[in-house]
């Protein structure tokens, strides 16, 4: 007779992380869709696609929200990665 191992705290915490990861993925997909619409509108109006002022504001907002324990350098890398998920994003 085999005994089933009871779930550990690690298992419970990993399930929560998996749930959060699923939410993050859905939000990134929605964000990319909205950003693509903005890029299209900018292309049609002849506006520059890249807006460094807006990107700096996004970084500041992430830094303000995340604070510690995530280092600023990593937050900048995270924002860059998020922006690059958008189809047709040009750096």
55 and 82 in contact (C-beta within 8 Å)?
Answer: no
Closest CA to 86 of 16, 22, 14, 37: 37
Binned at pLDDT 50, 70 and 90, residue 68 comes out as confident
**pLDDT tens-place string over residues 23-34:** 999 999 999 999
The pTM is what?
A: 0.77
């Amino acid at each position: 007779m085999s005994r089933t191992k009871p779930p550990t705290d690690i298992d419970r915490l990993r399930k929560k992380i998996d749930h959060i990861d699923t939410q993050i993925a859905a939000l990134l997909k929605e964000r990319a869709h909205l950003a693509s619409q903005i890029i299209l509108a900018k292309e049609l109006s002849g506006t520059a696609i890249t807006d460094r002022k807006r990107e700096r504001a996004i970084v500041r907002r992430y830094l303000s929200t995340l604070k510690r324990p995530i280092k600023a350098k990593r937050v900048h890398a995270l924002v860059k990665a998020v922006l690059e998920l958008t189809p047709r994003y040009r750096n």
